Amino acid sequence: MNIDWLLAYIAFGVSTMGTPGPNNMMLAASGATFGLRRSLPHMAGITAGFPLMVVAVGLGLGELLRLHPAIGEALKWAGGGYLLFLAWKIATAAGVSPEDGKAKARGRPLSFLQAAAFQWVNPKGWTMIMAMLPVYAGRNGDYTSDVLVMAALSAVISVFTTSGWTLIGMGASRLLTPGRLVWFNRLMALLMVASLVTIWA
């Protein structure tokens, strides 16, 4: 394994997976509203779902999308629509204090399967995969091995980035009153919608 390639991909993964996007905005809102324990399935769904998508696209689905661009276009618009729905749910979530367990129990964070499935309609995730496969896959002489290593590294990086954004949300909830937490969630929703500019512009 080429160490320069490895370091370059890690830098790419940290910079793309760690920066604001739909996953991270939802995690911050989830951490603020539900806390770490109830957000764990959401975090795990991202950590498992994105690497699986890397493998699927890298080892075959990418060619299908190249031959049938209408499928990719449909996924793009379906993802954008679902993203707007999730943004609306976050924006309309009630603000609760960290001590208000009963109020938290009335809401539900994303489940493992919901978060994993969301990766397939996440515009940032598609942008990352379509950018990284031509640049990194096959540079070590074996395309399949590179894709599998990239997926494994993505899973490791995701553990840290999903934890970080959930903790950011938890920290914000401790500093905000319930009324201000509503506005925090609305800001997260607005940032999610703003990310659509990359695919709908």
pLDDT tens-digit map of 5-30:
899 999 989 988 988 788 998 899 89
Q: Residue 121 carries which DSSP code?
A: G
pLDDT tens-digit map of 147-172:
999 999 999 999 999 999 999 999 88
pLDDT tens-digit map of 74-124:
766 766 677 677 677 767 765 554 445 444 444 688 999 999 999 988 878
